[in-house]
């Protein structure tokens, strides 16, 4: 059985992430979405809220699990007995960062394989950071995040504005 981990911040989970999940489960049997508990980053949703939201978005995919993680990704992969990491690549601008993570993870766990899926043209401009900013200033992001995410974002943002 092929298992993979799809790590990230997912603050928030976008249609770009959803596309990567849907395409990944065509090539692996089970996928664990690993939501980083990053205490230094100011976030819209807590890691636990992100897990809950992603679980709701993906409730029709029994082969996808969602959980938080902290510490090194390679330790999470070891603990979950998986050697495949999935990452999405949008544009050349993602490359240097992804390459550095790939090389470091490979050094730490040599039999770890990272599979990069290229974003399709509809999703290649979607970024959690930009989506947050546009939503915060009242812009329309309805075609960039799942409906469940949009609802939750509206609630959080309305409390802060
Ligand atoms: O969605 P992001 O923020 O680009 O995801 C980055 C992530 C979570 C994949 C990366 O920061 C990570 O794996 N962090 C865990 C700590 C770690 O393993 N660091 C060494 C490789 S960068």
Pocket test for ligand 1, best of 42, 73, 115 (most atoms within 8 A of CB): 73
What is the rounded distance in angstroms from the CA atom of residue 84 to the CA atom of residue 147?
29
Q: If you measure from the C-alpha of residue 71 to the centroid of ligand 1, how many angstroms do you get, rounded to a whole number?
A: 9
Residue range 109-118, pLDDT digits in tens = 999 999 999 9
**For residues 34 and 69, is the Cβ–Cβ distance under 8 A?**
yes
How does pLDDT run across 50-99, given as a tens digit for each residue? 999 999 999 999 999 999 999 999 999 999 999 999 999 999 999 999 99
Q: How many structural domains are present in the chain?
A: 1
| 142 CB neighbour count, 10 Å cutoff | 9
Query: Domain range spanning residue 87?
Result: 3-160
Ligand 1 atom, smallest distance to 10 CA: 1
CATH number at residue 89: 3.40.50.620
Q: Check if the beta carbon of residue 8 is closer than 8 Å to that of residue 17.
A: yes
Residue of the CA atom closest to atom 3 of ligand 1: 9
- Within 10 A of 70 (CB to CB), how many other CB atoms are there? 13
Q: Is 28 near ligand 1, meaning CB less than 6 Å away? A: no
């Amino acid at each position: 059985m092929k298992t993979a981990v799809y790590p990230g911040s997912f603050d928030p989970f976008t249609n770009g992430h959803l596309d990567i999940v849907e395409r990944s489960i065509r090539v692996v049997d089970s996928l664990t979405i690993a939501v980083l508990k990053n205490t230094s980053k100011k976030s819209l949703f807590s890691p636990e809220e992100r897990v809950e939201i992603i679980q709701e978005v993906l409730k029709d995919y029994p082969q996808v699990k969602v959980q938080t993680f902290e510490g090194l990704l390679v330790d999470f992969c070891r603990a979950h007995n998986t050697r495949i990491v999935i990452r999405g690549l949008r544009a050349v601008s993602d490359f240097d960062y992804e390459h550095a993570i790939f090389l470091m993870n490979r050094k730490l766990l040599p039999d770890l394989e990272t599979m990069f899926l290229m974003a399709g043209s509809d999703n290649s401009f979607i970024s959690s950071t930009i989506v947050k900013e546009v939503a915060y200033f009242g812009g329309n992001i309805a075609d960039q995040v799942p409906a469940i995410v949009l609802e939750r974002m509206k609630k959080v943002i309305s409390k802060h504005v």
